[in-house]
Amino acid sequence: MAALLLLERLTPLERAVFVLREVFGYGYPEIASAVGRPEAACRQLGVRARRHMDAGRPRFEADRREREELAERFFDAIREGDADGLRELLATDVHMVGDGGGKAPQWTKPVTGDEKVARVLAAVFPPLVRIGVVVEPHQVNGQPGAVFRDSDGRVLNTLSLDILDGRIQTIRSVINPDKLGHMGPVADAWQVIREAHRARLPALLDEFVPPT
């Protein structure tokens, strides 16, 4: 998901050249023929694409203990709906992205900026906690994160955090049931949201769109 997010920052031509060169190993003459551009231009596109990809990667990892402490504060804040506390932990240009795979609730689009991300998190997660959803701190894809389980212990979703310079840079949510099955029985995410709605917590639904 991190690589896909970085690729989205490239122009279509940069993305095509980067994938053909770095993923499939094509030579620049073949790439030039494929994209209909001179070979020299393709080389320049490749240089720019690599520069953009490198610029988007974290420069170094925070200390493990620091990351774990920051993640603990983050998950305490979302349980409590503490928007101010969340803003203190987020980078100003933080991104929050979700993967529902068209089979589960998902963010309407990537959410960007500390104010908006904090507001969404503070609105969405406390209602889930109040109907019995449990937040279990857990390493997710090598990053600090958590597994969310419904009141019956079934996996609802995961969150993982990219941390740099003492701030959360990216929050990634996976709620696609096809990607959660290896962790155990998977919850019906839509049913969980309906339960929250019946508890007169309509703000939860405002942040989601139905799968297409």
Which pLDDT value is given to residue 12? 86
- Kind of pairing between the strands at 111-112 and 134-140: unpaired
Identify the burial level of 36 via C-beta atoms within 10 angstroms of its C-beta, where 0-12 means exposed, 13-18 middle and 19 or more buried.
exposed
- What span, in angstroms and rounded, lies between the C-alpha atoms of 194 and 138? 26
The CA–CA distances, whole Å, from 110 to 19, 26, 67 equal: 23, 32, 23
- Asked whether this chain's domains 2-56 and 64-209 adopt the same fold, the reply is no
Residue entry with tokens 């939860």: 204
Residue 145: both structure tokens together: 């994160």
pLDDT at 123: 87
CB 87 within 8 A of CB 118: yes
Neighbours of 32 (CB within 10 A): 19
CA distances from 40 to 18, 52, 53, 118, 144 (A): 14, 19, 20, 45, 42
160/174 Cα distance (integer angstroms)? 9
> What's the 3-state SS for 90-157?
EEEEEEEEEECCCCCCEECCCEECHHHHHHHHHHHHHHHHHCCCEEEEEEECCEEEEEEECCCCCEEE
> What separation in angstroms does the CA of 79 have from each of 73, 151, 196?
10, 15, 15
Class level of CATH domain 2-56: mainly alpha
Residues 138 and 150: their CA atoms lie apart, in Å, by: 16
Domain spans in the chain, listed from the N-terminal domain onward: 2-56, 64-209
Per-residue pLDDT of 147-182, as tens digits, reads 999 999 999 999 999 988 889 999 999 998 988 988
The domain at 64-209 falls in which architecture? Roll (3.10)
Most distant pair of Cα atoms in the chain: their distance:
62
Q: Closest Cα to residue 97, out of 173, 168, 176, 148?
A: 173
Q: For position 93, what pLDDT does the model report?
A: 92
Given a cut of 70, the residues of the chain with pLDDT beneath it are 1-6, 8, 56-62, 101-102, 106-108, 199-212
Instruction: State the pLDDT at residue 148.
Output: 95
